[in-house]
Structure 1
């Protein structure tokens, strides 16, 4: 097994890359912050995912988080120390990374143990198949932070749970537990935590044994359906609201309820 670790500037943050028996495995490791990703980590994740294509023996990519978390998404505390312009750039970079994962010519299997929240949920939805443990928790609490998502971001949820459930996710900030996520189609498979990694490896090897031509064809066909929806955001629309976002981030850092302004 080949193992390569990319250590990052963030404290105890690294992205671990492994290759074994036709499988490429990426593990997000930042346990002290629930594997939350900074802008730098999003950028490195995209680069490492693309590097999996360098080895023609790789047939499937497994994407997972270390410990009892997939990823809490973007590092909200980082936003408290940067400008709105830099925060907007970070969100654009995040969406580019998620789209990179989504558009890889390899099948991508998300291995979800524990929370996959916010951008972490979107990253999970960019995977072709999601295997969750009984500790999986999925949610997108952007309404608590003043984050404004565009239609391509929302479409990943709409395609699985429908328009009303997608709006309910944001309106209420609710979180789906494992069984509910499985019933809703957010998880393709649900297994006990102790069996998660073995099941994921077994599933990866099963997919790797299929016709590469067939796998690539279905990925391209599905991607064409996704890409048929234009991104509605224009130059006057952003991922962050200039009033609500700073208040939402401050409230998150100060561990209090946000006091949003009225329009």
Structure 2
């Protein structure tokens, strides 16, 4: 299997760790990183010596979401930009049978939030901050977040976070159930490792059966949702083209976007 530089993979006893490794870009996701996370999750799933999978990031931020400033060329497998191909890449952590833990520091936004929600357990530092961010850039919610976020925090909290793209702090995230616990920043990695080792010492077959039973309804909803995600991307591109362009222009010009939606005078 290929080695990756922007996503690191390491095993220590029964624990495999995937580390997002672009600290100079706040671990912003490229298409190559999406592909790497998917393939490394498969590697961990297929390794009989691995019992628990940990996802974390280097630097002060877990992940700021997709790197919108990247000049990376489109992946030839992507018939529909940021939709069909991403359906293949983003679900592998969620589909794993093995227990998984996300260790979250700094900013957790967009696709980074989706990766965190794909994990069974989320531990955050005191300085962690969270945002859905998609609608801020004129996009409908993608990457399975429309299923995973309401499952974690409830429909009302999820829609408020999605509609506003507001950034919330770690305490608010814990209050609404987005994370299971908050720990001091300097203890984050050690506490995450301790939990991984505690889980790894348990009965692996019973753990996987338990995970399957708990997640079966959510998995079904997730799988049924993916075709609608493609449809939503097409509709938004067809009807919300002005807002998409306005979001890109505002990002480039470092100003607040002025969204207008679908107007009667549009062609």
User: Normalising by the residue count of structure 2, what TM-score does the alignment of the two structures yield?
Assistant: 0.86
Counterpart in 1 of 2:265? none
Larger displacement relative to structure 2 (246-255 or 179-188): 246-255
Flag structure 2 segments of 5+ consecutive residues without an equivalent.
Answer: 263-267
- Distance 1:18-1:81 versus aligned 2 partners, 3 A rule: closer
Flag structure 1 segments of 5+ consecutive residues without an equivalent.
Answer: 8-13
Q: Distance between the aligned counterparts of 1:206 and 1:239, measured in 2? A: 45
Deviations along 1:123-174, one digit per CA (max 9) or x if unpaired, are 1010000011001111112121111126943121111221111111122221
Q: Work out whether residues 150 and 233 of structure 1, in 8 Å CA contact, stay in contact via their aligned partners in 2.
A: no
Deviations along 1:20-65, one digit per CA (max 9) or x if unpaired, are 0211011101112110111121011111111113431111011001
Q: Work out whether residues 63 and 112 of structure 2, in 8 Å CA contact, stay in contact via their aligned partners in 1.
A: yes
Tell me if 1:19 matches 2:18: no
**Secondary structure, counterpart of 1:90 in structure 2:** coil
Q: Distance between the aligned counterparts of 1:180 and 1:69, measured in 2? A: 18
Pick from 218, 222, 226: which aligns with 1:226? 218
Counterpart in 1 of 2:255? 256
Counterpart in 2 of 1:10? none
Q: Work out whether residues 64 and 112 of structure 1, in 8 Å CA contact, stay in contact via their aligned partners in 2.
A: yes
Q: Work out whether residues 23 and 59 of structure 1, in 8 Å CA contact, stay in contact via their aligned partners in 2.
A: yes
**Secondary structure, counterpart of 1:222 in structure 2:** helix
The alignment of Structure 1 onto Structure 2 pairs a total of residues equal to 253
Counterpart in 2 of 1:30? 22
Counterpart in 1 of 2:4? 6
Q: CA RMSD in A?
A: 2.5
Pick from 175, 186, 206: which aligns with 1:194? 186
Tell me if 1:241 matches 2:240: no
Q: How does 1:82-97 map to 2 (within 5 A)?
A: 88-97=80-89
Deviations along 1:97-129, one digit per CA (max 9) or x if unpaired, are 331100111111000011110111111010000
Q: Work out whether residues 148 and 239 of structure 1, in 8 Å CA contact, stay in contact via their aligned partners in 2.
A: no
Pick from 117, 133, 137: which aligns with 1:125? 117
Q: Work out whether residues 157 and 176 of structure 2, in 8 Å CA contact, stay in contact via their aligned partners in 1.
A: no
Tell me if 1:156 matches 2:148: yes
Where relative contact order (Cα < 8 A, 6+ residues apart) is larger, the structure is: 1
Q: Distance between the aligned counterparts of 1:79 and 1:171, measured in 2? A: 28
